[in-house]
Structures are given as C-alpha cells and as structure tokens.
Amino acid sequence: MSDTNFTEILKEKKLKITPQRIAILEELDKNGHSTVDDIFNRIKIKIPSVSLATVYKNILALQSMDILKSVKTPTQKQKYEINKKPHIHLFCKICEKLEDFEIDISDFQDYCKNASGYENIEEASILLTGICKECSAKKI
Amino acid sequence: MSDTNFTEILKEKKLKITPQRIAILEELDKNGHSTVDDIFNRIKIKIPSVSLATVYKNILALQSMDILKSVKTPTQKQKYEINKKPHIHLFCKICEKLEDFEIDISDFQDYCKNASGYENIEEASILLTGICKECSAKKI
DNA sequence: ATATGTGCAAAGGGTTTGCAGATAT
DNA sequence: ATATCTGCAAACCCTTTGCACATAT
C-alpha cells in the first residue's frame, strides 16, 4: 500500500490529509498491530514535533471512519491495525506474538446466526491462543 | 453454584476465604459479565466497608488462579466472568447486551490448527456482533 | 476564508501500590 | 503465631479535553 492510497482513503472519508495521519497509517501498514506508544515513538523519527495527543485524536478519528480497528489482546495494552480484509488473530502463549490469519469464517458465522437467532452478524473478533510453529520447534 | 462451592474453589487454590471474595464470586455468578464498578456497587450493599482496591486486588488474584476470566468487549470497559464451561460471546449492536453462547468450537479450532500450524490451541476469545432477537423484533 | 487539525498542558478515569491494622488458618 | 487480606490514600498509568496557533482545502 502506497502513500497515494492513504491520501485517497483520507480524501474519501473527508478527513484532511496531514503528515501526521500519513505517518500513522504508514507505520501501521508497515508494522502491523501497534500500541499507541509504538506508533508515537516510530513516527517521532519522521515528525519530531508530533504529540501523543495527536496520535490519540487521530486513532479515534480513523477508527470512527473504519480505517483502523482495535485489537483486544490477552496482554492488556490496546493495539490497533488497519482495517483490511477479514481475518482472525493468533496469539502465541510463548513468545506473545500476535499474528493475522486469513480464513473464511462465513460458515461459522452462519452456524452461530442460526443457532442463536442473532441477525446481521457481521463483525467478529476472534482470537485463538496456542503455540506458534517457531516456538513449537524450539520446545522439542 | 452455592457458597460452599466458592469456599471449596478458594480452598483448592490456597486463597483465604474472606467475605469480600465470596461476595465477588456470588455477584459474578448471579449477574454474569460485570465491570469492576458493577461488582463494587453490588457488594457494597452486603459489605458496606468494602473498598475498590480490594475488588481490584481480588480480581487479579482470582484471575491468576483461573477462577475468573476477563472479557474483551467492543465498549471499552473491561468485564469479568467466572471461568466456567467454554462459550463464545454475542454482542448486540443495538442494546449493547453481552450474551454467553455455548457452542462446540472444536471443529473450528482443529481447522485453524491445521491451517496455521499452531499447536495447543486451547484458549479462545470469540466475540460476534449482531442484532439480538429482541432488538430485531423491535425494528420491524 | 473557513473548517479542521496540531501541540501543549491540564484534567480525567481506571487501576495499582505501600502501608498499618485486621482477619483467616 | 503467622501469613495473608483489607481499607485508605497516594501514586500511576493511559487517554481525553480545552485552548490558541497552524494548516489544509
């Protein structure tokens, strides 16, 4: 994903295109799930004047426009990611890495819909914890 | 679940049996997912001298002993529940109710295990958002 | 020109901590 | 008798807010 794309995305959502916003989106695009501090510390290199408050304000703005999503992880700090194609999260209990895992959960959602009577099941937050390949290999 | 059971559970985990702990567990058993404030306000009726700090300390202690679990919801406040049989959560976008939904997710877990290479997938936090029966009915 | 966004500092809210006294075993 | 727990107050995050200035359209 290039700068131009972020510019487009912001334009579509009628958010002004500022260097801070581009930097936040670039950072998340490059590094995946990040905490507010991660983002702040990384973009400070490019934009030394940036403030934490601006990062917070933008995270809220970008979330309300569905450009970002928050990810709830077992370790308490809130993380954020760019709202891209649907995926679930895998969390390794050993190295505490958080991974995206793209699978089609529509069958599972349909089953839940039928069994529960809930309509419009469209948003899901699925996190499984286990031991990743690398950590499994190390343990042997 | 009766008092006696909570007493037993605490004894097993080598935690001292105090009125505060029993009250917290009773509250969660009765009302399901609750925030710290929910718990604090409800048990204050029985134990007016109880402090917020004690509720926090006990939630941490009970969580580390796997008696309680935290539930991550779309609304920011952390909720807690007694660690009972596996279930997923349904969150109604309209009334913001959080419901337990007991289903067997072992097939889903197996599928994820095979597709991802993760071992020991045993803990899952699954939350689906949709519109509950009651709210669907009201909308028509 | 005007609405929006930024940075600062202060305030807010939720959670944790240290300590002295109380309670459970 | 002793380890643990409780309640209080203070400390500590992380996050939000108000305001004046700066920037994007």
pLDDT in tens, B98-111: 999 999 899 899 99
The total of other beta-carbon atoms located within 10 Å of residue A85's CB is: 6
Average pLDDT of B29-46?
96
In this prediction, residue B126 carries a pLDDT of 92
Burial class (CB in 10 A: 0-12, 13-18, 19+), B34: buried
User: What is the spatial distance between Cα B42 and Cα B80, in angstroms, rounded to a whole number?
Assistant: 14
Nearest-Cα distance to chain A for B2, in Å, is 29
pLDDT at residue A26 greater than cutoff 60 = yes
- Ranges for all domains in chain B classified under CATH 3.30.1490.190: 85-140
User: For domain B85-140, which CATH number applies: 3.20.20.70, 3.30.1490.190, 3.30.565.10, 1.10.10.60?
Assistant: 3.30.1490.190
Specify the DSSP element, H or E, that contains B28.
Answer: helix B19-31
B43 touches strand D (CB under 7 A): no
Query: Tens digit of pLDDT for each residue in A54-80?
Result: 999 999 999 999 999 999 887 768 899
Average pLDDT of B108-136?
92
A84 touches strand D (CB under 7 A): no
User: Which tokens hold the place of B54?
Assistant: 């004690």
Nearest-Cα distance to chain A for B87, in Å, is 12
In this prediction, residue B122 carries a pLDDT of 83
In this prediction, residue A79 carries a pLDDT of 92
pLDDT at residue A15 greater than cutoff 60 = yes
In this prediction, residue B76 carries a pLDDT of 63
User: What is the spatial distance between Cα A123 and Cα B63, in angstroms, rounded to a whole number?
Assistant: 27
Interface residue A115 vs chain B (CB under 8 A): yes
In this prediction, residue A3 carries a pLDDT of 52
pLDDT at residue A1 greater than cutoff 80 = no
- Ranges for all domains in chain A classified under CATH 1.10.10.10: 1-83
Burial class (CB in 10 A: 0-12, 13-18, 19+), B2: exposed
What fold characterizes domain A1-83? Arc Repressor Mutant, subunit A (1.10.10)
Contacts A–B by Cβ distance under 8 A: 99
Specify the DSSP element, H or E, that contains B112.
Answer: helix B106-116
